[in-house]
Amino acid sequence: MVSVVRRLRRTQASLDASRRLLEIELNRRYELAGELVVAARRAGVPTTTLGPLAGARSLALGFREQQLALCEQAGSENALSVALHRVLATVSADSTLRNDWSVQRPALDATTVEQRLAGAVRVYNGVATSMNALVRALPAGPVASAFGGRTAALFEAAAAVVVDESEAPTTVFARV
């Protein structure tokens, strides 16, 4: 029984730390998406290209502020990821923008944050899966539940976003 409680405490601490890491990376992406929109707009990228990114960013921020369930937040984050990658593909395809450091810096930073965010999601979902297995397994489950163990929601969208394969790869937070 003591070992189950210790494992529960360790897993809960890991879950909390991975959730904080996920939130940090999401915050970085929100900031960089805004910077990218401003820089690309100044460089003359059409509003029709930047509008979906600004809208998806607003949607994701709104879902987060409303403190919706993780699966609902993941859906809006998928939309933001798709819009961000479309703008990044536009920036990399335009020869004048490839040489404009004011656009390239936020674009490169956004690419790095997308990779870090994908890693943070994998870590969080791995720890959440471990917590769920601990709480549901026998004989540890009833003991873990008695000491405050609860299942953890995964950060995955209910339905994956389908993207044209010819475009830049996207970060999709859904199980395949």
Mean pLDDT of 166-170: 50
Superfamily of domain 2-146: LemA-like domain (1.20.1440.20)
Report the pLDDT value the prediction gives residue 148, as an integer from 0 to 100: 84
pLDDT in tens, 47-56: 999 999 999 9
H/E element, 91: helix 70-93
- Residue 143, pLDDT score: 80
Q: Which amino acid is at 21?
A: L
Q: Which residue has the higher pLDDT, 171 or 69?
A: 69
Q: Give, in order, the Cα–Cα distances in Å from 140 to each of 134, 143, 156.
A: 7, 5, 26
Domain boundaries, the chain: 2-146
- pLDDT band of residue 44 (cuts 50, 70, 90) is very high
Phi-psi region of 44 (alpha: psi -120 to 50; beta: other; left: phi over 0): left
